[in-house]
Amino acid sequence: MTRLTELAHAAVRTVLAAGEASIDATAGNGHDTRFLSVLVGPMGSVFAFDIQPEALARTAQKLHEASNVTLCQRDHAEMRNEIPPEFHGRIGAVMFNLGYLPGGDKSFTTQADSTLKAIASALELLRSGGILTVVAYIGHPGGSDEAEAVTNLLAKLPAGFSLREERNEESISAAPRLFVVHKRLAVG
Ligand SMILES: C[S@@+](CC[C@H](N)C(=O)[O-])C[C@H]1O[C@@H](n2cnc3c(N)ncnc32)[C@H](O)[C@@H]1O
């Protein structure tokens, strides 16, 4: 079975090009940060957010000193202030993988309030044609409410964005969900 995280990578691969800037909003164990780092290459950049030093340390270990990644120990709700202004409107991809750090402290889970603020900022930071992915889990405390809040926010996307929800073979009510948002290419 293809995991939703792999489907998210496949979706990002269709959009994000070498040399571009990108954001991992939840660095965690660093899988998505490493994926983005390899995809954008030495001329590109990745801004990786996490509130837990342990997560950023694990992420750093996965990167083998890749110099195109900036680790930000910050709430992703603050991403608009953290991303240098020259990248605003020029971000090719933003990835969210919600929930807690696997193998870590499960009390540090993403929260609906800051997740919604961060997604709203991410939509502003995207370039025309850029992509946002959100993997949401509903099996942990608060996860179901957070997934519902994300669903409601993305159901009311401003003009110029399109949403699709991807499902794998195991798409039952308790399974994780993958939301893929595209910012439409500007015409003319
Ligand atoms: C499921 S893990 C992410 C997995 C990661 N993308 C990977 O590839 O390994 C979720 C992460 O979100 C982090 N997190 C929770 N709240 C956050 C917030 N407000 N801002 C940034 N990161 C947050 C947690 O510390 C945890 O490491």
The 3 state secondary structure assigned to 33-72 is: HHHHHHHHCCCCEEEEECCCHHHHHHHHHHHCCCCCEEEE
> Which position has the higher pLDDT, 25 or 170?
25
pLDDT attached to residue 1: 62
Angle at which helices 143-155 and 112-125 cross, to 10°: 30
Residue listed under structure tokens 């798409």: 171
d(CA 138, CA 128): 31
CB of 82 shorter than 6 A to ligand 1: no
Residue 31 CB less than 6 A away from ligand 1: yes
Protein residue with its CA nearest to atom 16 in ligand 1 = 110
Distance 26 CA to ligand 1 centre (A): 4
Model confidence at 174: pLDDT above 90? no
Using a 6 Å cutoff on CB, does residue 58 contact ligand 1?
no
Q: Is the CB of 130 under 6 A from ligand 1?
A: no
Report whether CATH 2.40.128.20 matches the domain 4-183.
no
Atom of ligand 1 nearest to the CA of 32: 8
- Average pLDDT (15-37) is 98
CA of residue 187 to ligand 1 center, whole Å: 35
Digit-coded pLDDT (tens) for 40-91: 999 999 999 999 999 999 999 999 777 899 999 999 999 999 999 999 999 9
CA of 19 to the centre of ligand 1 (A): 25
Helices (H) and strands (E) in the chain — how many of each? 6, 7
Task: Tell whether ligand 1 has an atom less than 6 A from the beta carbon of residue 37.
Answer: no
Domain ranges of the chain: 4-183
Question: How close is the Cα of 99 to the center of ligand 1, in Å?
Answer: 6
Average pLDDT over the chain, rounded to whole?
Answer: 93
For residues 130 and 20, give the distance between their C-alpha atoms in angstroms, rounded to a whole number: 11
- In this prediction, residue 188 has a pLDDT band, given cuts at 50, 70 and 90, of low
| Residue with CA at minimum distance from ligand 1 atom 17 | 110
Q: Is the pLDDT of residue 185 over 90?
A: no
Q: What is the mean pLDDT of residues 152-158?
A: 95
